[in-house]
Amino acid sequence: MAWYRDHVLPRLQGRVMDQAAFVPVRRRVCSGLSGEVLEVGFGTGLNLAYYPAEVAKVWVVEPSQLCLRLAAPRLGACPVPLELAGSRADQLELASGQVDTIVSTWTLCTVPDLQAALGELRRVLKPGGRLVFAEHGRAPDQAVERWQLRLTPLQRRLAGGCELARRIPQEIEAAGFLLGALSCYYLSGVPKVFGYTFEGWATPV
Protein backbone atom coordinates (compact mmCIF):
# COMPACT_ATOMS: atom_id res chain seq x y z
CA MET A 1 0.00 0.00 0.00
CA ALA A 2 2.94 2.36 0.57
CA TRP A 3 3.87 2.20 -3.13
CA TYR A 4 0.25 2.91 -4.10
CA ARG A 5 0.05 5.79 -1.58
CA ASP A 6 3.31 7.40 -2.67
CA HIS A 7 3.33 6.79 -6.43
CA VAL A 8 -0.21 6.11 -7.70
CA LEU A 9 -2.60 7.98 -5.43
CA PRO A 10 -1.14 11.48 -5.97
CA ARG A 11 -1.51 11.12 -9.75
CA LEU A 12 -5.01 9.66 -9.42
CA GLN A 13 -6.20 12.39 -7.04
CA GLY A 14 -4.65 15.08 -9.20
CA ARG A 15 -6.73 13.94 -12.17
CA VAL A 16 -9.95 13.43 -10.20
CA MET A 17 -9.75 16.84 -8.56
CA ASP A 18 -9.02 18.57 -11.88
CA GLN A 19 -12.55 18.00 -13.17
CA ALA A 20 -14.65 20.91 -14.39
CA ALA A 21 -17.20 20.43 -11.57
CA PHE A 22 -14.70 21.76 -9.03
CA VAL A 23 -13.73 24.92 -10.92
CA PRO A 24 -16.59 27.25 -9.84
CA VAL A 25 -16.09 26.20 -6.23
CA ARG A 26 -12.34 26.86 -6.34
CA ARG A 27 -13.01 30.25 -7.91
CA ARG A 28 -15.46 31.23 -5.15
CA VAL A 29 -13.28 29.99 -2.32
CA CYS A 30 -10.21 31.84 -3.59
CA SER A 31 -11.96 35.11 -4.42
CA GLY A 32 -11.13 37.98 -2.10
CA LEU A 33 -7.93 36.45 -0.74
CA SER A 34 -5.11 38.84 0.15
CA GLY A 35 -1.90 39.03 2.17
CA GLU A 36 -0.28 35.81 3.38
CA VAL A 37 -2.30 32.68 2.66
CA LEU A 38 -1.81 29.18 4.01
CA GLU A 39 -3.17 26.40 1.80
CA VAL A 40 -3.70 23.08 3.54
CA GLY A 41 -3.53 20.04 1.29
CA PHE A 42 -1.90 21.87 -1.61
CA GLY A 43 -1.91 18.77 -3.80
CA THR A 44 -0.85 19.55 -7.37
CA GLY A 45 -1.61 23.27 -7.05
CA LEU A 46 -5.07 23.32 -8.60
CA ASN A 47 -6.13 26.44 -6.67
CA LEU A 48 -3.22 28.59 -7.86
CA ALA A 49 -4.98 29.73 -11.03
CA TYR A 50 -7.72 31.36 -8.94
CA TYR A 51 -5.59 33.28 -6.45
CA PRO A 52 -6.10 37.05 -6.90
CA ALA A 53 -3.24 39.49 -7.36
CA GLU A 54 -3.70 40.76 -3.79
CA VAL A 55 -2.14 37.56 -2.41
CA ALA A 56 1.41 38.41 -1.35
CA LYS A 57 2.63 34.95 -0.37
CA VAL A 58 1.34 31.38 -0.21
CA TRP A 59 2.45 28.92 2.44
CA VAL A 60 1.65 25.33 1.51
CA VAL A 61 1.12 22.16 3.52
CA GLU A 62 1.49 18.97 1.50
CA PRO A 63 2.66 15.54 2.67
CA SER A 64 3.29 14.13 -0.81
CA GLN A 65 6.60 14.92 -2.48
CA LEU A 66 5.20 13.58 -5.74
CA CYS A 67 2.30 16.05 -5.59
CA LEU A 68 4.78 18.89 -5.22
CA ARG A 69 6.74 17.64 -8.24
CA LEU A 70 3.55 17.31 -10.28
CA ALA A 71 2.68 20.89 -9.30
CA ALA A 72 5.93 22.23 -10.81
CA PRO A 73 4.35 23.62 -14.03
CA ARG A 74 1.73 25.50 -12.04
CA LEU A 75 4.35 26.74 -9.60
CA GLY A 76 6.47 28.03 -12.47
CA ALA A 77 3.52 29.97 -13.89
CA CYS A 78 2.53 31.49 -10.55
CA PRO A 79 3.85 35.02 -9.85
CA VAL A 80 3.20 34.70 -6.10
CA PRO A 81 6.07 33.40 -3.93
CA LEU A 82 5.35 30.03 -2.37
CA GLU A 83 7.02 28.33 0.57
CA LEU A 84 6.50 25.01 2.31
CA ALA A 85 5.02 25.28 5.81
CA GLY A 86 5.38 21.60 6.60
CA SER A 87 3.95 18.25 5.62
CA ARG A 88 1.36 17.95 8.40
CA ALA A 89 -1.49 20.28 9.26
CA ASP A 90 -1.11 19.55 12.97
CA GLN A 91 2.59 20.53 13.01
CA LEU A 92 3.00 23.78 11.10
CA GLU A 93 6.31 25.54 10.71
CA LEU A 94 4.74 28.96 11.19
CA ALA A 95 4.55 31.52 13.97
CA SER A 96 1.33 32.13 15.86
CA GLY A 97 -0.89 34.68 14.15
CA GLN A 98 1.22 34.69 10.98
CA VAL A 99 -1.29 34.23 8.14
CA ASP A 100 -4.26 36.29 6.99
CA THR A 101 -6.28 33.45 5.50
CA ILE A 102 -6.24 29.67 5.44
CA VAL A 103 -7.60 27.81 2.41
CA SER A 104 -8.75 24.20 2.58
CA THR A 105 -10.40 22.50 -0.39
CA TRP A 106 -11.33 18.81 -0.14
CA THR A 107 -8.60 18.19 2.43
CA LEU A 108 -10.06 17.94 5.94
CA CYS A 109 -11.60 14.56 5.12
CA THR A 110 -8.13 12.97 5.10
CA VAL A 111 -6.52 14.55 8.17
CA PRO A 112 -5.99 11.79 10.79
CA ASP A 113 -6.39 13.98 13.90
CA LEU A 114 -8.73 16.67 12.64
CA GLN A 115 -9.17 18.51 15.94
CA ALA A 116 -5.41 18.76 16.46
CA ALA A 117 -4.99 20.09 12.92
CA LEU A 118 -7.79 22.64 13.26
CA GLY A 119 -6.29 23.79 16.54
CA GLU A 120 -2.98 24.36 14.80
CA LEU A 121 -4.69 26.25 11.98
CA ARG A 122 -6.39 28.44 14.56
CA ARG A 123 -3.00 29.11 16.18
CA VAL A 124 -1.33 30.44 13.02
CA LEU A 125 -4.31 32.52 11.87
CA LYS A 126 -4.30 36.23 12.67
CA PRO A 127 -7.07 37.58 14.90
CA GLY A 128 -9.97 38.33 12.57
CA GLY A 129 -8.49 36.11 9.86
CA ARG A 130 -10.53 33.55 8.00
CA LEU A 131 -10.51 29.85 7.35
CA VAL A 132 -12.17 29.46 3.95
CA PHE A 133 -13.15 25.98 2.88
CA ALA A 134 -14.94 23.65 0.52
CA GLU A 135 -15.12 20.12 1.90
CA HIS A 136 -17.21 17.05 1.32
CA GLY A 137 -18.80 15.16 4.19
CA ARG A 138 -21.86 13.63 5.78
CA ALA A 139 -25.01 14.04 3.72
CA PRO A 140 -28.36 14.92 5.32
CA ASP A 141 -30.23 12.24 3.39
CA GLN A 142 -30.28 8.95 5.28
CA ALA A 143 -29.96 6.77 2.20
CA VAL A 144 -26.84 8.64 1.07
CA GLU A 145 -25.44 8.68 4.59
CA ARG A 146 -25.83 4.91 4.89
CA TRP A 147 -23.82 4.41 1.71
CA GLN A 148 -21.18 6.85 2.95
CA LEU A 149 -20.76 4.84 6.13
CA ARG A 150 -20.66 1.55 4.21
CA LEU A 151 -18.04 2.79 1.76
CA THR A 152 -15.82 4.66 4.20
CA PRO A 153 -13.56 1.66 5.12
CA LEU A 154 -12.79 1.09 1.43
CA GLN A 155 -12.49 4.83 0.77
CA ARG A 156 -9.91 5.16 3.56
CA ARG A 157 -7.73 2.54 1.88
CA LEU A 158 -8.09 3.82 -1.67
CA ALA A 159 -8.12 7.60 -1.08
CA GLY A 160 -5.44 8.32 1.49
CA GLY A 161 -7.56 8.03 4.62
CA CYS A 162 -10.56 9.94 3.25
CA GLU A 163 -13.59 9.89 5.56
CA LEU A 164 -16.83 10.24 3.62
CA ALA A 165 -19.10 11.10 6.54
CA ARG A 166 -17.31 13.72 8.61
CA ARG A 167 -19.48 16.53 9.96
CA ILE A 168 -17.11 19.27 8.86
CA PRO A 169 -18.97 22.37 10.15
CA GLN A 170 -19.36 20.84 13.61
CA GLU A 171 -15.67 19.88 13.64
CA ILE A 172 -14.67 23.44 12.74
CA GLU A 173 -16.86 24.90 15.47
CA ALA A 174 -15.55 22.41 18.04
CA ALA A 175 -12.01 23.62 17.33
CA GLY A 176 -12.83 27.19 18.38
CA PHE A 177 -14.03 28.77 15.15
CA LEU A 178 -17.21 30.73 14.53
CA LEU A 179 -18.90 30.02 11.20
CA GLY A 180 -19.50 33.23 9.27
CA ALA A 181 -21.07 31.69 6.18
CA LEU A 182 -22.00 28.18 5.15
CA SER A 183 -23.58 26.70 2.02
CA CYS A 184 -24.44 23.00 1.88
CA TYR A 185 -25.23 21.27 -1.41
CA TYR A 186 -24.62 18.27 -3.63
CA LEU A 187 -21.89 19.13 -6.10
CA SER A 188 -23.23 18.77 -9.62
CA GLY A 189 -21.57 16.06 -11.68
CA VAL A 190 -20.25 14.14 -8.66
CA PRO A 191 -21.95 11.04 -7.16
CA LYS A 192 -23.93 12.05 -4.08
CA VAL A 193 -22.00 9.78 -1.76
CA PHE A 194 -18.83 11.75 -2.57
CA GLY A 195 -20.36 15.10 -3.46
CA TYR A 196 -22.19 16.52 -0.45
CA THR A 197 -20.30 19.78 0.04
CA PHE A 198 -19.80 22.28 2.83
CA GLU A 199 -18.58 25.63 1.48
CA GLY A 200 -17.99 28.69 3.63
CA TRP A 201 -15.70 30.52 6.00
CA ALA A 202 -15.04 30.76 9.71
CA THR A 203 -13.07 32.99 12.07
CA PRO A 204 -11.31 32.09 15.32
CA VAL A 205 -13.35 32.89 18.42
Judged against a pLDDT cut of 80, whether residue 140 lies above it is answered with yes
What is the pTM assigned to this prediction?
0.96
Domain 2-204 classification at class level: alpha beta
The predicted model gives 12-26 an average pLDDT of 96
| Average predicted confidence (pLDDT) for the chain | 96
Cα dihedral 13/47/170/87 (nearest 10): 70
Q: What would the pLDDT profile of 102-138 be if each residue is shown by its tens digit?
A: 999 999 999 999 999 999 999 999 999 999 999 999 9
Between CA 189 and CA 170 the distance in angstroms is 26
Q: Which residues pair with 197 in a beta bridge?
A: 136, 185
Q: Provide the pLDDT confidence category of residue 1 given band limits of 50, 70 and 90.
A: confident
Please check whether residue 146 is in contact with residue 152, taking contact to mean a CB–CB distance below 8 angstroms: no
Mean pLDDT check: name the lowest of 53-57, 74-78, 165-169.
Answer: 74-78
